[in-house]
Structure 1
Amino acid sequence: MKIYELKLEADVDTDPVWCNQCGCNLDLDELPISLELKKELQDWTMEYGEWIDWTNDRLRKNGVDLETEHNQLGQTLSAKIQKELGDTYTVSFSPSRSARHYLNNETTF
């Protein structure tokens, strides 16, 4: 199956590019993008969740700001992917909303 609709979405321990049609995770090494962009995507993905204190399962003090910065960089990276892939593909960005989840479920920090 040819994939023409891609989604950039970071998650823990996985590559950040997905088929926006079937939801399968795509291997960055299989994408026809520059090595520099692949490195930027890997670095961005490694920072996913830095706004969460995983040990205590709670939001870090500046968690919302960290997630916002992560999402802004993700938006920029999705535009870079789109530029490198050209008109053959459509690339969308799916921002993280986990900090808001924690905010809705916590009463204190």
Structure 2
Amino acid sequence: MNVGTAKRLAAGLESLAHRPAKPLEELRPGGTLPLEVRPAEVRVGDYLPLDGGCYRIRNMRGTGGSSRILELEGRRQPWIMTGPRTVFRPADQFQFPLPT
């Protein structure tokens, strides 16, 4: 197995380990819209569905690679985002017309 394959496998396993226990729509905070983002696109203020809850990102930092260390309100330990993930972003932060 090459390094690229190992990284993709690890990211997939990490994503499965933290899959929300509830459907995403049940976790969505009011006034937000779902959006799939890469680690480089996630923002402070986004909400991350994780482990059956939904946590607001209060701070983050890069790891020197393509992942981000996220500090989440209401959760003691930081969480490392290594690949694409669905987050909920406040609707007022979208800068294009939304479909009605």
Q: TM-score range by the shorter chain?
A: under 0.3
> What is the TM-score when the length of structure 1 is the normalising length?
0.25
> What is the TM-score when the length of structure 2 is the normalising length?
0.27
Which one has the bigger helix percentage? 1
Bigger Rg, which one = 1
Which one has the bigger strand percentage? 2
